Structure 1
Amino acid sequence: MFRGRILTKNILYEKEIVEDNLCNMCNSSNSIESCFHLFLECPLAAQVWQKLIGHMPKANDILAGHDIKLMSSLHTRGFGEIIWDIMPFTVLWEI
């Protein structure tokens, strides 16, 4: 994902492998399934992220930004640091 190599529908559409490039998760007629849309912009993904990190001070910067690498800056110090190190990647995998 960080390298832009996920075969989302916009890439598959360009290679003429699929018939359309629209997002299946939100079923919007004008949402092209790109990596950024699928993992951050899509209303369903946005709900997941809002529930998970919406309370954190960095949440708006992370969710509004176009640099997906900011996800790795979610962790805080203390007991849950290891969990917050892997949490974003776990959620991305599930989405």
Structure 2
Amino acid sequence: MPPDERFGMISQIRRAALSVHLNIAEGASRKSESERKRFYEIARGSLIEIDAALDIANELDYLKDQDLSRLEENMVRCFKILSAMINPGH
């Protein structure tokens, strides 16, 4: 990404990535199933936020030299895991 995005989009992606991890940890510490699910939903929302930011960066040609296929696969896998944690058995 261009240097002028260092404190814009890059910072937002980093915050969202940290939010995914921290909300999973926070949810895992909750005794109530409804509370756990709420934190997992927040984590999943942050994952969607990362995906949207990367889509925008890609549309702006900020990522033209980057192969994001592995990252995309990992994000889809993480989304599926979080969805299963929110709605087990579905």
Query: What TM-score range do you get, normalising by the shorter chain?
Result: 0.3 to 0.5
TM-score, reference length from structure 1: 0.33
TM-score, reference length from structure 2: 0.34
User: Which structure shows the higher helix fraction?
Assistant: 2
Q: Which is bigger in relative contact order (C-alpha 8 A, separation at least 6)?
A: 2
